[in-house]
Amino acid sequence: MAHIEETDPEIISEILDRYRSDPDARAYFLGRADEVPVDPSDDRRHCHQCRNLIAGGLCLAAQRREIKASLYPMDDLPRRCDGYLSKPDDPDQRTGRERWSGLS
């Protein structure tokens, strides 16, 4: 929301409600999130960049209890996660535990 300079709490709440409840809206918003410029020094990753996040927003690492996290994580902010698995097109193929060894 900061990138588009949206500050109205009602609009933000409505967007987040649609994101949480409507899979088509979630796909749209995640697609738009890819358009936001990323700081190259930021090593965090969005959940949609992880092989453990499958269709419908389910985190397989959380389902397998490999990490303590929501089964359906919010993907609004990049994060560092022990359960992160790079997708095949990511040049950095290290796991989350390898990338961010100080997390666990």
Residues 21 and 48 in one domain: no
Strands (E), 20-91: 53-54, 58-59
Whether residue 96 lies inside any domain: the answer is no
Whether residue 101 lies inside any domain: the answer is no
Residues 54 and 87 in one domain: yes
Residues 52 and 29 in one domain: no
The model's confidence at residue 29, banded by pLDDT at 50, 70 and 90, is confident
The model's confidence at residue 34, banded by pLDDT at 50, 70 and 90, is low
**CB burial class (10 A; 0-12, 13-18, 19+) of residue 71?**
exposed
Residues 32 and 49 in one domain: no
Convert the pLDDT of each residue in 38-81 to its tens digit.
677 889 999 999 999 998 999 999 999 999 988 999 888 899 99
Whether residue 99 lies inside any domain: the answer is no
Convert the pLDDT of each residue in 84-98 to its tens digit.
999 999 999 999 999
Number of domains, the chain:
2
Range of the domain at 21: 1-36
Give strand pairing partners of 79.
45
Residue for token pair 């900061």: 2
**Dihedrals phi, psi of 62, to nearest 5 degrees:** -70, -40
Residues 60 and 84 in one domain: yes
